[in-house]
Amino acid sequence: MNPLLAQLTAAETDGWWAGFQAFFVAPENAWAVSLLLVLIVGKTIPGMVSLLVWVERRGAALLQDRLGPNRVGPFGILQSIADLVKFIFKEDVLPGHVNKPIFLLAPALAVIPPLVVLSFIPWGANVAIADVDTGILACFAFSSLHVYSVSLGGWASNSKYPLLGGVRAAAQMISYEIALGLSALSVFVIAGTLRLHDVVMFQTDGLTIAGTTYDALWARILDWNLFKQPLGAIIFLIAGFAETNRHPFDMPEAESELAAGYHTEFSSMKFALFFLGEYAAMIVMSSLFIVMYLGGWTFFGVENLLTDWVAEYGAANPGWINWPLIVEAHLHVGIFLGKLAFLLWFFIWVRWSLPRFRYDQLMSIGWKRLLPASLLWFALTAVGVALVR
Amino acid sequence: MEGLGIQLAFYSFAAVTIGSALLATMAKKIVNSAFALMATFFGVAGIYGVLGSDFMAVTQIVVYVGGILILLCFGMLLTDRVPDEFRVRSPRRYVGASIAATLTFVGLAWAISGTAWARLPHITDGSAEALPTTALIGNALLTDYLLPFEFASIVLLVVLVGAARVARGGTR
Amino acid sequence: MQQDFLTILMFMLFGAAFVVLNMVAIGRLLRSKTKYTAQKSATYECGEPTFGGAFIRFDIRFYVICLVFVIFDVEVLFLFPWAVVLKPLGWLAFIEAFVFVAVLAVGLAYVWRKGDVDWIPLHGHQAPGARLSEMDAVAAPSSAVTAPSSNPAPVTAAADG
């Protein structure tokens, strides 16, 4: 049962509105709630991606002292819509040399996993679509499917550039996945839970040093896992860049040597779906980083401003929809989206600031630097937790 | 969740698992086999989910779909020239495979019949919510099943060293 | 909890519907039919005539990397339930996991020592992309035809690995 809905109980006995509420509140209609949430998030993500693409292009222009797309709409903000229209009308070529079923399946595998992972992210205290106990593992499970879209897309194209790009991408993604998992594991060791909601709560319960819990602002700031797990956070971020094939790890589609890498042979909407999947994966990775290291929907007490109002309203109007609760949910999601915007800008910033790694450098960073570092950090964290408990 | 819904989910996952497993063994092209196998793994994960074993469901996907199957795909890329066709189709292989399959089946059947399903209320009467299992598994691994847990690391080490050696050509 | 799994299932179905709608349905209604010509359905190699098939054999080290990955993937998964119970169990759990990780660290040290995670060969390992350099060697004459006075350095570099 969704926690937000658990508090919305129908008071009126007649009228369509009461019936409407009663329908969604009844436990046997939980599927309808799920469907509604799925539709909302599923529709939001493509919108976010198109905005992100515009920001990336304008941001690149800003960093390189040029204009960027500025013709379609104010500041060119409708550029992505124009691109979408173009994608739809573009010729959809299915080259004769490809392995047809897999060629068609690969773009689907690029889009579906990030969408599913977003259902595990707690956007607010009461706003999570599927708040499962094994949250982070489920995220990893579905993110790991991303490898297939890349490697099989390259393989099914039956063409040299895509094949090279696909194999490179697959090897790169699996090389950084272990470091990613180990640095995440350190967070869950100190939090003592795998549930993402509880990991966020763990970062807001005040800093406990030698049995004393501090609740001042400095303690609240230092309570973020970013400060408790500095090295882990850096490793996670680097591995996250590699997992999403972003600069400086965008080997698989290094355009100067491999044309467009694994999606060289894909045209029209098939290419657009790869594009969507890539940016959605970026949103997923940033969201995970926010939940694990940057305190999720919390911002040093701002998230609790409405708690009293919610409680009062709930007490004063028993059996009626608790509207302040919904306002509070918006506040939480707003804080989360603010952090998300910052991290996504960071992704773009890095992309236009750093040169690309060479492939052998990339592999040796993954296996010989990040993996031992994350193992060591993990061991240190475990010792610390066993000592302090 | 209602008993009917859970039964429906179980049977559809079972159908997916068995159907795709058949497809995986019968497929003419090795790549189709690999894809059918992916569906099989998802079906098994779904069954774990239906049975309320959340940790196992997720682990199934991470290890098999996110690990083993990628290894198979890499193997596909390493095969010579025509990765589309199975190279060897000798009856000898069928004999070995059926012996292995029979042994696995007997082992699984033994384990399933020995499980105290009545201890899982969400399965027997379908009313209760399944409990999260991760902490329970962690406790069990570190107390009652410590030896298998440590043994697993030895097995993994042996597999790693052996396979890396074989892949290098077995000389160094 | 099963409710959550149902939601996830719905998400997967939604994703599938989204993909089908975008990839197949909308475009097919709106855009004109593709007329295939030999050039259009040819493999894209930046306008050069294609040479040879795409299914080159890859270096074995990609496979070894993947193998090491699978082993460590399983290891990390074993540690996730352990992470949840470390606080209640304390030192006992710590020592048990320490032994577990130490055994696998030996494995990492082994593949590191043997050069399996190296991309630049150390002790007499097979040159990286040796088979790819064979391809280059085959491809070299054709490039020599188009540019006879070109520097042969790339070929020797590829042979050196």
The reported pLDDT for the residue numbered C16 is 83
C60-89 vs B134-142: helix axis angle to the nearest 10?
90
Q: Do A132 and C1 touch (CB under 8 A)?
A: yes
What does the alpha-carbon distance between residue B32 and residue B24 come to, in Å, rounded to a whole number? 7
pLDDT in tens, A287-342: 999 999 998 888 887 888 888 888 888 787 766 667 788 888 888 889 999 999 99
pLDDT averages per 10-residue partition of chain A, 389 residues? 52 60 66 75 82 88 87 84 84 77 84 86 81 84 86 79 82 89 91 88 79 78 88 93 84 67 77 86 92 89 83 75 80 91 91 83 87 91 85
Whether C79 and chain A come into contact, CB under 8 Å, resolves to yes
Domain count within chain C: 1
The residues near A349 (Cβ < 8 Å, ≥ 6 apart) are: A59, A63
pLDDT tens column, C81-140: 888 888 888 888 888 888 888 888 888 888 888 877 777 654 444 444 444 444 444 444
Is A47 at the interface with chain C, CB within 8 A? no
Task: Give the count of domains, chain A.
Answer: 1
Query: Which residues does A225 contact at the CB level (< 8 Å), separation at least 6?
Result: A187, A190, A191, A199, A202, A203, A232, A233, A292, A293, A294, A295
3-state SS, residue A213:
strand
Across the interface, do A259 and C14 touch by the CB < 8 Å criterion?
Answer: no
Per CATH, is B1-87 categorized as 1.20.120.1200? yes
Judging contacts by C-beta atoms under 8 Å, the chain C residues touching residue B80 are 57
Residues of chain A with C-beta less than 8 angstroms from the C-beta of B32: 101
Question: Taking a C-beta distance cutoff of 8 angstroms, is the pair A158, C54 a contact?
Answer: yes
What is the spatial distance between Cα B69 and Cα B64, in angstroms, rounded to a whole number? 6
Which pLDDT does position C145 carry in this prediction? 36
What angle, 0 to 180 degrees and rounded to 10, lies between the N-to-C axes of helices A160-191 and A146-156? 170
Q: Per the CB < 8 Å rule, is B138 touching C99?
A: no
Mean predicted confidence (pLDDT) in C63-71: 86
**Facing A144 at nearest CB: one of B62, B73, B84:** B62
User: What 3-state DSSP class applies to B120?
Assistant: coil
Distance CA C63, CA A171 (A): 9
User: Is A176 part of a structural domain of the chain?
Assistant: yes
What is the token pair recorded at B93? 């292989």
Mutate to test the interface with C, among A100, A115, A150, A369 (most CBs of C within 10 A): A115
* Residue corresponding to tokens 């491999």: A258
Taking residues B141-164, report their average pLDDT.
Answer: 87
Rounded Cα–Cα distance for residues C62 and A165 (Å): 13
Question: How far apart are the C-alpha atoms of B26 and B37, rounded to whole Å?
Answer: 11
CB contact under 8 A, B66 and A151: no
Asked if the Cβ–Cβ distance from A273 to C22 is below 8 Å, we say yes
Q: List the single residue in C3, C73, C84 with the smallest CB-CB distance to B66.
A: C73
Residue A357: DSSP 8-state: P
CB < 8 Å from A in window 44-63 of B: 54-55, 58-59, 61-62
A209: enclosing H helix or E strand: strand A207-209
Q: SS3 for B131?
A: coil
- Whole-number Å distance between alpha carbons of A203 and A290: 11
Q: Is B24 on the interface with C (CB under 8 A)?
A: no
Mean pLDDT over each residue of chain C, to the nearest integer: 70
pLDDT at B148: 87
pLDDT at residue B26 tops 70: yes
Question: How many other CB atoms are found less than 10 A from the CB of residue A29?
Answer: 13
Confidence tier at B162 by pLDDT (50, 70, 90):
confident
By residue range, what is the domain housing residue A96? 91-388
Name the residue among B56, B115, B159, B78 with its Cα closest to residue C70: B159
Residue pLDDT, tens place only, C131-158: 444 444 444 443 333 333 333 333 333 3
- Contact across the interface for B132 and A134, Cβ inside 8 Å: yes
More confident residue, A313 or B40: B40
The DSSP secondary structure of A73-139, one letter per residue, reads SGGGTTHHHHHHHHHHHS-----TTS-HHHHHHHHHHHHHHHHHHHTT---SSS--S---TTHHHHH
Cis peptide preceding A248, ω within 30 of 0: yes
Q: Do A259 and C44 touch (CB under 8 A)?
A: yes
CA A314 vs CA A305, A317, B31: distances in Å: 16, 5, 58
Residue with the larger pLDDT of the pair B40 and A300:
B40
Q: Which of C6, C9, C64 to mutate to test the interface with B (most CBs of B within 10 A)?
A: C64
Written as one letter, the residue type at A23 is F
Torsion, Cα A172 A173 A174 A177, to 10 degrees, reads 120
Q: Show the domain range for C98.
A: 59-132
Q: What pLDDT does B44 receive?
A: 93
Mutation for testing the A interface, residue in B73, B153, B156 having most A CBs under 10 Å: B73
* Other CB atoms within 10 Å distance of the CB of residue A314: 15
A43 is written with which tokens? Answer: 């529709």
Residue B152 in contact with residue C78, Cβ under 8 Å? yes
In the stretch 97-136 of chain B, residues with CB closer than 8 A to chain C read 122, 129-132, 134-135
- State the virtual CA torsion across A308, A311, A316, A318 in degrees, nearest 10: 170
Does any CB of chain B come closer than 8 Å to the CB of residue A191?
A: no
Q: What is the mean pLDDT of residues B32-41?
A: 88
Chain B environment of A174 (Cβ under 8 Å): 70
For position C129, what pLDDT does the model report? 47
- Are the C-beta atoms of residues A135 and A184 closer than 8 Å to each other? no
pLDDT at C141: 41
- pLDDT reported for residue B104: 94
The verdict on C20 touching B (C-beta cutoff 8 Å) is: no
What's the DSSP call for residue A296?
T
Q: Do residues B63 and C73 touch, judged by C-beta distance below 8 A?
A: yes
Q: Which residue of A has its CA nearest to B65?
A: A145
* Residue A333 to residue A330: CA distance in whole angstroms: 5
> What are the chain C neighbours of A265 within 8 Å (beta carbons)?
43-44
